[in-house]
């Protein structure tokens, strides 16, 4: 077990801070843990409003907010070759050895991975969500995914269910896909210092109130549970198009004093909302992995969830009660959970979660994937084109054409802006004190 070499990684995604979400947090925590392991991490994303240019985050994490305008759902406008110059500049400046793209729905990720492959860099892709196969949007996205993954070095999925989904959608050989689950920041999600009294049972729901997250199920389940158990109260946090339906349900059954609507809860306040409850209810209709239930379990709540996607893989059986996405089944699951409550110990659950899930573990496993990716052989253009041809009768030829044009653009760019004109950035050495200035080591530049 010799010393592992240190990598220089570029994380690419449309989704990053200042947005908060599963993918954004994943990239941030993974980058921080990789920095602690001694690797160099740079993040590339699109500009968010006025936040454009180079920014530094905790631990010296450098983020490039490239001024491409997002056009729909936080995604950059897909121009195929438009991002080639800036991607090439960043890869050369930071002396990157490996590019890691996140989320199949991010156009910047697909473009950056395509350009990185053209320029000969090794590429890793992480898929965070499950997608369908049948509707028009999914068909097109799966084709794009097939194109990107045809030539990826390694892929990572967040659960075994997600691996199956990704492999079926993209036609990638399963040996190339690693499963590394997400983790939770157990230092932030701690249980309440004193146990809550159990004469009134509080059920917490925090999710975006959209169809995909099962808001319609909540509309059926909440009145039924309130009818069966007079001592149960609900706290609903989150906002979305389905919020109106839940408010209507509240009015119809006169549950204003038993169902509290908090509206959108900022990420920093989630823990304080969670520790005010005994049970966490998750009603999603599809989930590749569910970080929300990890956060709830880390705070010592018992979880009731729908048995969909990767949810059964997340928690041990004594910490979660699963049900079909059907209102009656969910009501029965809540009944079972209420009866299990006296045996639960929040502090013990928190300590268990600390051992089971940690971002440092995710970073170590990801490091193994990077080592494997860097050992992949270098292939020239012709060998890589043969892989694209297998994507389909028409699509294969189209993909080959796209890659050939990208290759030609790259050579044109090498003539117009030679690599020696792009200056490499010296590594900034952070002093140990937190509030000190960062001083660059410019003496040898």
Partner 1 sequence: MASDDSCIANGRYKYIHDDHKDSIEAIDAHHVVVQTNNSRVFFVGLSALLLTATAVSLSLLKDESILILLWSLLLSALLVKLFLRKPVEKESIIIMSAFGVQLETQYGSGRTVRRFIPIDKILKPVLNECVTPVTCYWSLSLIVRGDEELTLVFKELRPPVKMLIPIWKALCAAATNSPNDS
Closest CA relative to residue 199, chosen from 348, 338, 297 = 338
Taking CB under 8 A as the criterion, the residue among 33, 34, 61, 90 binding partner 1 is 90
Q: For the range 428-437, what are the long-range contacts, defined as Cβ-Cβ under 8 Å and sequence gap of 24 or more?
A: 428/56, 428/60, 428/62, 430/59, 430/60
Taking CB under 8 A as the criterion, the residue among 15, 16, 28, 68 binding partner 1 is 68
From residue 417, alpha-carbon distances to 88, 96, 137, 138, 410 in Å are: 10, 18, 38, 38, 10
Torsion of Cα atoms, 263 then 266 then 269 then 275, to 10°: 50
Q: Smallest gap, in angstroms, from Cβ of residue 33 to partner 1?
A: 25
CA–CA gap between residue 410 and residue 88 (Å, rounded): 9
Q: Smallest gap, in angstroms, from Cβ of residue 79 to partner 1?
A: 10
Q: Smallest gap, in angstroms, from Cβ of residue 53 to partner 1?
A: 5
Taking CB under 8 A as the criterion, the residue among 52, 276, 332, 335 binding partner 1 is 52
Q: Smallest gap, in angstroms, from Cβ of residue 426 to partner 1?
A: 9
Contact between 85 and partner 1 per CB under 8 A: yes
Taking CB under 8 A as the criterion, the residue among 240, 417, 427, 430 binding partner 1 is 417
Residue 407 structure tokens: 């290759």
- Per DSSP, the three-state class of 327 is helix
Query: Which positions from 371 to 410 touch partner 1 by CB under 8 A, shown as an x/- string?
Result: ----------------------------------------
Instruction: Judge whether 158 and 128 are in contact, CB under 8 Å.
Output: yes
Number of residues located near partner 1, criterion CB under 8 A: 21
Decide whether 67 or 120 has the Cβ nearer to partner 1. 67
Of all helices (H) and strands (E), which one includes residue 365?
helix 359-374
Q: Smallest gap, in angstroms, from Cβ of residue 125 to partner 1?
A: 24
Contact between 77 and partner 1 per CB under 8 A: no
Binding segment toward partner 1, per CB under 8 A, in 50-58, 136-144, 327-335, 372-380: 50-58
Instruction: Judge whether 306 and 330 are in contact, CB under 8 Å.
Output: yes
Decide whether 35 or 90 has the Cβ nearer to partner 1. 90
Instruction: Give me the helix-helix angle, 136-149 and 393-416, nearest 10°.
Output: 60
Binding segment toward partner 1, per CB under 8 A, in 84-92, 172-180, 189-197, 343-351: 84-92
Q: Smallest gap, in angstroms, from Cβ of residue 170 to partner 1?
A: 30
Taking CB under 8 A as the criterion, the residue among 38, 59, 67, 316 binding partner 1 is 67
Contact between 435 and partner 1 per CB under 8 A: no
* Residue the block writes with tokens 């659960």: 159
Q: Smallest gap, in angstroms, from Cβ of residue 107 to partner 1?
A: 15
Instruction: Judge whether 308 and 285 are in contact, CB under 8 Å.
Output: yes
Contact between 86 and partner 1 per CB under 8 A: yes
Decide whether 394 or 442 has the Cβ nearer to partner 1. 442
Binding segment toward partner 1, per CB under 8 A, in 58-66, 163-171, 202-210, 281-289: 58-66
Taking CB under 8 A as the criterion, the residue among 3, 251, 257, 421 binding partner 1 is 421
Instruction: Judge whether 368 and 98 are in contact, CB under 8 Å.
Output: no
CA–CA gap between residue 237 and residue 430 (Å, rounded): 39
CA–CA gap between residue 139 and residue 163 (Å, rounded): 18
- Sequence length of the chain is 445
Closest CA relative to residue 144, chosen from 168, 111, 100 = 111
Decide whether 86 or 192 has the Cβ nearer to partner 1. 86
Q: Is the peptide bond before 50 cis (omega within 30 degrees of 0)?
A: no
Contact between 64 and partner 1 per CB under 8 A: yes
Name the residues that contact partner 1, by CB under 8 A: 52-54, 64-68, 82, 85-86, 89-90, 93, 417, 421, 423, 425, 440, 442, 445
């Amino acid at each position: 077990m010799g010393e592992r070499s240190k990598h220089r990684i570029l994380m690419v995604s449309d989704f990053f801070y200042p947005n908060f979400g599963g993918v954004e947090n994943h990239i941030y925590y993974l980058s921080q843990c990789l920095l602690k392991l001694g690797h160099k991490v740079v993040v590339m994303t699109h500009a968010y409003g006025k936040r454009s240019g180079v920014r530094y985050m905790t631990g010296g994490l450098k983020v490039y907010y490239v001024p491409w305008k997002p056009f729909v759902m936080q995604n950059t406008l897909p121009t195929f070759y438009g991002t080639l110059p800036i991607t090439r500049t960043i890869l050369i400046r930071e002396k990157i050895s490996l590019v890691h793209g996140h989320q199949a729905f991010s156009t910047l990720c697909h473009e950056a991975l395509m350009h990185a492959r053209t320029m000969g860099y090794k590429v890793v892709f992480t898929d965070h969500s499950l997608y369908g196969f049948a509707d028009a949007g999914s068909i097109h996205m799966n084709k794009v995914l097939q194109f990107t993954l045809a030539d990826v070095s390694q892929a990572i999925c967040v659960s075994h269910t997600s691996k199956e989904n990704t492999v079926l959608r993209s036609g990638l050989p399963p040996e190339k896909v690693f499963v590394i689950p997400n983790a939770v920041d157990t230092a932030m999600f701690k249980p309440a210092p004193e146990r809550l009294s159990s004469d009134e049972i509080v059920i917490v729901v925090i999710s975006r109130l959209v169809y995909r997250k099962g808001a319609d199920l909540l509309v059926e389940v909440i009145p039924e549970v309130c009818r069966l158990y007079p001592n149960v109260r609900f706290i609903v946090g989150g906002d979305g198009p389905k919020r109106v339906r839940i408010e209507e349900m509240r009015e119809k059954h006169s549950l204003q004093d038993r169902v509290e609507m908090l509206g959108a809860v900022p990420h920093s306040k989630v823990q304080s909302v969670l520790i005010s409850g005994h049970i966490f209810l998750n009603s999603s209709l599809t989930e590749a992995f569910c970080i929300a239930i990890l956060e709830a379990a880390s705070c010592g709540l018992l979880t009731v969830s729908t048995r969909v996607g990767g949810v059964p893989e997340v928690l041990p059986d004594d910490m979660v009660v699963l049900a079909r996405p059907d209102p009656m089944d969910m009501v029965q699951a809540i009944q079972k959970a209420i009866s299990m409550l006296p045996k639960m110990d929040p502090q013990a659950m928190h300590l268990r979660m600390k051992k089971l899930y940690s971002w440092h573990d995710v970073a170590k496993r990801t490091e193994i994937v990077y080592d494997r990716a860097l050992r992949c052989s270098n292939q020239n253009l012709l060998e890589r084109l043969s892989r694209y041809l297998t994507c389909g009768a028409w699509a294969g030829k189209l993909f080959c054409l796209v890659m050939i044009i990208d290759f030609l653009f790259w050579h044109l760019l090498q003539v117009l802006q030679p690599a020696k004109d792009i200056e490499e950035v010296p590594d900034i050495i952070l002093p140990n004190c937190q509030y000190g200035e960062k001083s660059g080591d410019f003496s040898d530049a």
